[in-house]
């Protein structure tokens, strides 16, 4: 068996984007799962985008995340150099480009910018440039004369214009394109540097890369790569094109969103282990729906065949939750060292910082959460110990202090902690996990989809054909399929979803919006009342007002209270959330296939010109069923996450409100104690 070799080949253009980090992680997991080699290659041929210090960022990121490379610029194992500019200086790329020229698979192009501009035209509403191969017709003598004269030139690959090219991707399956759609891509630029596409092919072959992992934006380039491989007679690697990563609005994750890079996330208080764990789940999920993994555990369970086609949404709220789980499990000394700068931001007096760190470790999701939780320490007043001396009760400072310490030890700093009392989020998650199991076992028949054994989509032309499975546009075909599937598949799960929602709303969420004897607030009010009673017994009941020991405190967030009580937060709207996510996912997949992989080609000119209709794709009915079912499962997964986070956030708001009200109540009672002299 051939040893698996993968590579991570970043360009040094700044901080490492989350998408690049995922590519590195998946490449690492694929090869380490099989005991292979992980190679680092620096692709710096784009000198205009080069950023000073970016190479150091790459090394630093890989070291912090644990994605340690077996080979690279600093670990030459016989396949170096591992920096493309150094390989270019050795003439590696020019050598292979000239070989293609000699074979007749490439040619010199001397066209100037003005000539290339004249080749642009509009197809399907988009301006495209298709090179017309005019320099391919130059004689050898003419080419040599212009080379000797020092004319600026590039080297282009001679793509075929007839037939088709089919390539296989592990995630997207077999994809076929018409060769007439393949442009004669540039191999060597006029400055002597190779293009990204050409350098990748050459380097991957020479470094014996077996699996190429990259984003799905490179799917359209794969047929061009394969033509180069075939021209040399080289083996084509296994392609793994990962799905797009979007933000919460389903737009491509951009640098402007504030958390698009690894170092952005570190700056925001996220720990490296949590980031890696979360990034691994952006497009892949284990068979058992487990979410928390160490890097070593990911190596053991990762199967790249289970990577999803649909876009992965970068949910910052989900990452915050996961980060909180890692912080809770962090070694106490390590947490203290990392938390100390945040504590010192707001605490200027001499405190026991280790004790405070222990109090907040289970209550935060990121380190910047700390200041807001502990700033009240600076407002705590000093008390005269003489207030605890009472002749009738025969108490002095020493005896009172001992009793008070014993009583107060029973009163926690925070009244209600979601982490220590009822872990709402975990409980809700267990309920909603049943939905995922339901979706996984969902039986959908071929008749549930409007697509037959095959159908075609004709675009930009008058409707042609009489087949009832032939659609005027891709949107019409998509609508037909979604409509049929929605009317049948959803009917199987609506009632089950509502049962789950009702169950956890009544049993899990209700204690946080109810005021009966079982509510979390009533239970804790009684505990506080018992402590106040103990204090009056210590000092003397006659010294206090009649209602001193009474505690009748509840949250004051009326709007949230009513929303939870009415089921507006976690109720029937879950169905619509699932449908929205499903329809987006299915739509995105088909739009991608329709518009990105196939183009309309115009033939001829003038009075003899004609347009040719293009059959976009043929779709097997069972494959359509499987694809839609997968989209539905993903939709339930995302909706489940949304509903869990929403419920948790609102309940947490009520708890915070209660704690604030309770503190105000106790402050008044403390003032009453202080008046007793």
Residues annotated as catalytic are: 255
Q: Rounded to 5 degrees, what are φ and ψ at 240? A: -130, 95
Helix (H), strand (E) at residue 241: strand 238-242
Task: Give the C-alpha separation, 153 to 276, whole Å.
Answer: 45
| Half-sphere exposure for 372 (CA within 13 Å, toward CB) | 9
Mind giving me the DSSP string for 39-97?
EE-B----GGG--TTHHHHHHHHHHHHT---SBBTTB-SSS---BHHHHHHTTHHHHHH
* Structure-block tokens of residue 473: 């546009």
Joined tokens for residue 532 = 């106040």
Q: Compute the distance between CA of residue 568 and CA of residue 562 in angstroms, rounded to an integer.
A: 8
User: What are the CA-CA distances from residue 634 to residues 322, 486, 631, 638 (Å)?
Assistant: 19, 15, 5, 6
Long-range CB contacts (within 8 A, 24+) of 420-425: 420/362, 421/520, 422/508, 422/511, 422/520, 424/508, 424/509, 424/512, 424/647, 424/648, 424/651, 424/652, 425/321, 425/644, 425/645, 425/647, 425/648
**DSSP 3-state assignment of 285?**
coil
* Residues ≥6 apart with Cβ < 8 Å to 19: 215, 245, 253
Task: Identify the DSSP state of 361.
Answer: G
Q: Tokens 């005027």 sit at which residue?
A: 472
* DSSP reduced 3-state for 252: strand
The rounded distance, in Å, linking the Cα atoms of 43 and 10 is: 6
Contact 246, 310 (CB under 8 A): no
The helix/strand/coil state of 602 is strand
Q: What is the C-alpha to C-alpha distance for residues 655 and 520, in angstroms, rounded to an integer?
A: 9
Say how many C-beta atoms besides its own lie within 10 A of residue 609's C-beta. 9
């Amino acid at each position: 068996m051939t040893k698996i070799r993968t590579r991570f080949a970043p360009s040094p253009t700044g901080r490492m984007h989350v998408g690049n980090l995922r590519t590195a992680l998946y490449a690492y997991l694929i090869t380490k799962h099989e005991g292979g080699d992980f190679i680092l290659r620096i692709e710096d041929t784009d000198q205009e985008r080069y950023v000073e210090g970016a190479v150091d960022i790459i090394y630093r990121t890989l070291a912090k995340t644990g994605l340690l490379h077996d080979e690279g610029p600093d670990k030459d194992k016989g396949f170096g150099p591992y920096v493309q500019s150094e390989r270019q200086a050795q003439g590696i790329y020019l050598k292979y480009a000239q070989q293609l020229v000699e074979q007749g698979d490439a040619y010199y192009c001397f066209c100037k910018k003005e000539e290339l501009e004249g080749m642009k035209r509009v197809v399907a509403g988009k301006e495209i440039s298709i090179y017309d191969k005019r320099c391919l017709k130059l004689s050898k003598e003419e080419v040599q004369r212009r080379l000797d004269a020092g004319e600026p030139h590039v080297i282009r690959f001679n793509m075929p214009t007839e037939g088709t090219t089919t390539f296989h991707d592990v995630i997207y399956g077999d994809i076929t394109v018409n060769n007439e759609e393949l442009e004669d891509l540039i191999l060597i630029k006029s400055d002597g540097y190779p293009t990204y596409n050409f350098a990748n092919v050459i380097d991957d072959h020479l470094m014996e890369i077996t699996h190429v992992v990259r984003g799905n934006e490179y799917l359209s380039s794969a047929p061009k790569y394969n033509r180069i491989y075939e021209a040399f007679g080289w083996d084509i690697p296994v392609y793994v094109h990962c799905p797009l990563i979007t933000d919460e609005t389903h737009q491509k994750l951009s640098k402007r969103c504030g958390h698009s890079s690894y170092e952005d996330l570190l700056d925001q208080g996220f720990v490296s282990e949590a980031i890696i764990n979360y990034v691994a789940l952006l497009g892949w999920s284990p068979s058992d729906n487990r979410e928390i993994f160490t890097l070593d555990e990911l190596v053991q369970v990762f199967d790249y065949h289970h990577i999803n086609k649909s876009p992965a949404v970068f949910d910052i709220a989900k990452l915050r939750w996961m980060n909180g789980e890692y912080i809770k499990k962090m070694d106490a000394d390590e947490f203290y060292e990392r938390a100390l700068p945040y504590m010192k931001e707001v605490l200027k007096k001499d405190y026991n910082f280790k004790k405070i760190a222990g109090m907040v470790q289970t209550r935060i999701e990121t380190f910047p959460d700390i200041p807001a939780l502990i700033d009240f320490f600076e407002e705590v007043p000093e008390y005269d110990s003489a207030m605890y001396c009472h002749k009738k009760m025969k108490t002095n400072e020493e005896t009172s202090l001992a009793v008070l310490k014993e009583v107060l030890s029973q009163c926690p700093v925070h009244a209600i902690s979601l982490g220590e009392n009822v872990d709402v989020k975990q409980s809700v998650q267990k309920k909603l996990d049943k939905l995922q199991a339901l979706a996984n076992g969902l039986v959908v028949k071929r008749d549930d989809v409007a697509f037959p054994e095959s159908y075609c989509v004709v675009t930009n032309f008058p409707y042609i054909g009489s087949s009832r499975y032939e659609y005027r546009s891709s949107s019409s075909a998509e609508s037909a399929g979604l409509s049929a599937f929605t009317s049948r598949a959803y009917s199987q799960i609506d009632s089950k979803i509502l049962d789950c929602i009702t169950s956890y709303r009544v049993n899990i969420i209700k204690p946080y919006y109810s005021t009966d004897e079982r509510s979390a607030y009533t239970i804790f009010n009684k505990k506080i009342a018992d402590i106040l009673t103990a204090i009056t017994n210590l000092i003397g009941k006659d010294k206090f007002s009649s209602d001193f020991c009474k505690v009748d405190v509840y949250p004051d967030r009326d709007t949230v209270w009513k929303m939870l009580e009415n089921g507006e937060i976690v109720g029937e709207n879950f169905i619509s959330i699932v449908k929205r996510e499903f329809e987006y996912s299915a739509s995105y997949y088909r739009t991608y296939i329709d518009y990105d992989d196939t183009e309309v080609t115009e033939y001829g000119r003038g009075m003899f010109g004609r347009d040719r209709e293009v059959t976009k794709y043929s779709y097997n009915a069972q494959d359509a069923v499987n694809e839609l079912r997968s989209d539905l499962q993903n939709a339930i997964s995302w909706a489940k996450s949304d509903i869990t986070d929403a419920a948790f956030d609102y309940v947490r708001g009520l708890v915070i409100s209660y704690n604030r009200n309770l503190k105000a109540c106790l402050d008044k009672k403390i003032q009453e104690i202080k008046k007793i002299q």
